């Protein structure tokens, strides 16, 4: 494929008119899944509570040979191959993740090494790379930074990768939302899929709604010794423990989600200087979806407050306010609103699970793929984005679908690919979760795999090595 470099001289006028965005997109999600019904049965949960209440059908899980590096490398490799990308044109590869496998070495540096392993030594030697971490909004932060860069350097190209494994403790209230995978997006000054407006509203507050702290355990509890003898070369009295699983308060996190997105939404309304209902101008609304129906549950307050005729006066007590929101969410008007603007983004989430930083972009891809497969023309339509990351931060922005979006999606085949996922049983799921399953469930083919983790050479202990399997 031949790219179209921007040759306009950089002036204040065309800088304001320029709208960089996503030119191409690819994905890689875990290829094995546990049906939600199987989990519900094992946990004595009514299946309808998860399926009809939360919109969950399947949850995807990493195979024994997969991790976040593998998912990111697979999505990035597919993006490069499917779009004939000249790596010498790529100035940035920015990664959004909250599933880092190293406290120092970023996932992006792994991706550089693997791409050069496949496409040639030093092919990305002049490419800037960095990871962005702010829970589930890290990918949006990476996107915004790349867009800012392309705006100032319109002849350059950048790539955003989101890669995560949303892992929760067994028997926890987050267990049924698990998912794993990555997306990769090519960012250019003349995108084929969607161009973003240069208005981004933000709402931030430092809270503990969901986090992954460094945890410790006393050495005495492990060894039984009261003295601080070395234990596997650990001289500290406390042993640090890393867990992929978060500490979280589901109800509080939902409230933070609602508060941040509401504040960012109305900040965005001020930015665009509009007195009209903003969401009415959006063909589709793309939100962070920790589970498929999260968006429709969280959006009712914004829907009510920004309606032409609001059903909320502002004089209600807290209990009255919440009851009115519940009533509004049950109206036919709101249900129709959800069907029109939210459901297309939910389709993939239902059969993948939570992708953390990739969730909002999978929502975009799900929406585009749904319209592509149903042959709906959306060129020139605006999409609204309500991003959220625990800790907590929300960003609201919008983009316009471009004329060539259908051609750009020709090789993606989202739903066709997801249908090929391999079902596993509950026993296998628990073995994978506990890392007791050492053999791959499915034979890897045309993908990256984790080959080994160094455990002998002192200066390389913990180094992770990957290889491509034809």
Domain spanning 12-209+249-299+342-469 has what CATH number? 3.40.47.10
Which neighbouring-strand residues pair with 32? 61, 422
Q: Quote the pLDDT of residue 17.
A: 60
pLDDT for the residue 6 = 47
Give 173-201 pLDDT, tens digit per residue: 999 999 999 999 999 999 999 999 999 99
User: pLDDT digit string (tens) for 123-156?
Assistant: 999 999 999 999 999 999 999 999 999 999 999 9
Q: Which residues of the chain have pLDDT under 70?
A: 1-17
Q: How far apart are CA 468 and CA 290, in angstroms?
A: 31
Closest C-alpha to 285, from 260, 302, 310:
302
Tokens of 160: 């955003």
**Residue 45 to residue 35: CA distance in whole angstroms:** 13
All structural domains of the chain with their residue ranges: 12-209+249-299+342-469, 212-241
| Residue 311 confidence (pLDDT) | 78
Report pLDDT digits (tens) over 111-127: 999 999 999 999 999 99
Q: Secondary structure of the chain: what % helix, strand, coil (to 5)?
A: 40, 25, 40
Distances (CA, A) of 342 to 97, 294, 336, 353, 399: 24, 10, 10, 16, 16
Residue 11: per-residue pLDDT: 42
The radius of gyration computed from the CA coordinates of the chain, to the nearest angstrom, equals: 23
The predicted-structure confidence for 366-377, as pLDDT tens digits, reads as follows 999 999 999 999
Residues shown for the chain: 470
Q: What is the pLDDT of residue 233?
A: 84
> Is the peptide bond preceding residue 102 cis, with omega within 30 degrees of 0?
no
- Tell me, what's the pLDDT at 9? 46
The whole-number pLDDT of residue 121 equals 97
Helix (H), strand (E) at residue 90: strand 90-96
Q: Dump strand ranges (E) for 249-381.
A: 284-287
Beta strands in 104-249 (DSSP E): 128-132, 157-166, 179-188, 194-196, 201-204, 210-211, 215-218, 238-241, 247-248
Query: Which residue, among 202, 200, 207, has the nearest Cα to 264 in the 3D structure?
Result: 202
**Residue whose C-alpha is closest to residue 238's, from 217, 215, 222:** 217
The contacts of residue 233 (CB under 8 Å, 6+ apart) are none
- Of 459, 319, 445, 455, nearest to 65 by C-alpha is 445
CA-based end-to-end distance of the chain: 24
């Amino acid at each position: 494929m031949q790219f179209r470099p921007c040759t306009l001289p950089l002036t204040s006028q065309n800088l304001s008119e320029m709208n960089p965005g996503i030119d191409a997109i690819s994905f890689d999600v875990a290829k094995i899944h546990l049906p939600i019904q199987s989990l519900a049965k094992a946990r004595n949960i009514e299946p309808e509570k998860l399926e009809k209440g939360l919109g969950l059908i399947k949850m995807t899980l990493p195979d024994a040979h997969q991790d976040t590096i593998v998912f990111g490398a697979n999505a990035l490799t597919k993006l490069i191959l499917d779009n004939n990308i000249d790596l010498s044109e790529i100035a940035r590869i920015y990664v959004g993740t909250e599933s880092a496998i190293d406290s120092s070495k970023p996932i992006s540096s792994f991706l550089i090494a693997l791409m050069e392993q496949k496409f040639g030594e030093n092919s990305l030697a002049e490419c800037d790379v960095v990871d962005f971490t702010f829970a589930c909004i890290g990918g949006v932060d990476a996107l915004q930074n790349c867009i800012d860069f392309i705006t100032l350097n319109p002849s350059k190209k950048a790539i955003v990768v989101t890669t995560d494994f949303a892992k929760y403790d067994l028997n926890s209230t987050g267990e049924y939302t698990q998912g794993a995978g990555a997306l990769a997006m090519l960012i250019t000054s003349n995108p084929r899929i969607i161009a973003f407006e240069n208005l981004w509203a933000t709402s931030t507050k430092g809270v503990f709604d969901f986090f992954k702290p460094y945890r410790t355990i006393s050495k005495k509890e492990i060894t039984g010794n009261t003295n601080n003898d070395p234990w596997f070369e650990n001289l500290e009295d406390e042993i640090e423990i890393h867990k992929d699983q978060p500490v979280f308060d589901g109800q509080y996190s939902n409230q933070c989600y609602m508060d941040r997105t509401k504040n960012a939404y109305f900040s965005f309304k001020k930015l665009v200087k509009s007195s009209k209902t903003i969401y009415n101008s959006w063909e589709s609304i793309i939100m962070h979806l920790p589970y498929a129906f999260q968006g429709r549950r969280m959006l009712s307050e914004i829907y009510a407050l920004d309606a032409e005729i609001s059903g909320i006066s502002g004089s209600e007590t807290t209990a009255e306010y919440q009851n009115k929101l519940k009533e509004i969410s049950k109206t036919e008007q709101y249900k129709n609103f959800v069907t029109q603007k939210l459901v297309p983004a939910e389709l993939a989430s239902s059969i993948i699970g939570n992708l953390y930083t990739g969730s909002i972009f999978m929502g975009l891809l799900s929406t585009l793929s749904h319209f592509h497969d149903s042959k709906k023309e959306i060129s020139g339509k605006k999409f609204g984005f309500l991003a959220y990351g625990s800790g907590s931060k929300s960003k609201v922005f919008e983009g316009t679908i471009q004329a060539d979006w259908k051609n750009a999606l020709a090789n993606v085949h989202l739903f066709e690919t997801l249908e090929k996922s391999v079902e596993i049983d509950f026993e296998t799921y628990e073995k994978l979760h506990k890392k007791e399953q050492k053999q791959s469930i499915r034979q890897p083919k045309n993908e990256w795999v984790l080959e080994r983790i160094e455990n002998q050479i002192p200066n390389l202990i913990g180094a992770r090595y990957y290889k491509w399997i034809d």
